[in-house]
Amino acid sequence: MSTMNAPEVAVTITPAAAVEVQKFMTAENVAPEVGGLRVSVQPGGCSGFKYSLLIEDKPAEDDTILPQGSFNVFVDPFSMQYLNGVSIDYVTSMQGSGFTFKNPNATGGCGCGSSFTA
């Protein structure tokens, strides 16, 4: 488990997104002291990469742990290179509600809002 004093990556969770994460953690009975939100990037999606959010009971051994106040964010080494500066928000609109990603590192994206090119 990697707990660095100065993380190499900055991930911002907006207050609206944090409320939703806490709801999911409560629903899944995940203790915020040890569990958290896994933010990862995976090959796929319509632009080459896609984001993934999962509630996890505990971090993996090689994760970087980013404290977010009332819970932790876990980032694996592969995803780290794509996530610096990413902002995760939760929006509700007429089209539905869900998490959105703003990534300053993305060189392109598509209409789905959950995949990107880098």
> Is the pTM here over 0.75, yes or no?
yes
Residue 73 maps to a domain: yes
Domain range enclosing 59 = 12-105
67-98: pLDDT as tens digits = 998 999 999 999 988 888 999 999 998 888 89
The enclosing H or E element of 93 equals: strand 87-93
Residue 118 maps to a domain: no
Residue 18 main-chain phi, psi, to 5 deg = -60, -40
For residue 78, what is the domain's CATH number? Answer: 2.60.300.12
Task: Tell me the average pLDDT of the chain.
Answer: 84
DSSP-assigned letter for residue 45 = S
Residue 112 maps to a domain: no
Residue 117 maps to a domain: no
Q: Which residue has the tokens 């703003």?
A: 102
44-53: pLDDT as tens digits = 766 678 889 9
pLDDT of residue 28: 96
Residue 22 maps to a domain: yes
Q: Considering its fold, how many domains does the chain have in total?
A: 1
Residue 76 maps to a domain: yes
Q: Would you place residue 108 in the very low, low, confident or very high pLDDT band (cuts 50, 70, 90)?
A: low
User: In terms of Cα–Cα distance, which of 14, 54, 41 is closest to 109?
Assistant: 41
Residue 5 maps to a domain: no
CA dihedral 15, 20, 23, 27 (to 10 degrees): -150
Please report, for residues 46, 105, 111, 117, the alpha-carbon distance to residue 108 in angstroms, rounded to integers and kept in the order given.
11, 9, 10, 5
pLDDT of residue 103: 82
What's the rounded Cα separation, in Å, for the pair 112 and 45? 9
Residue 71 maps to a domain: yes
Degrees (nearest 5) of the Cα angle 69, 114, 74? 30
Q: Which residue has the tokens 């915020």?
A: 32
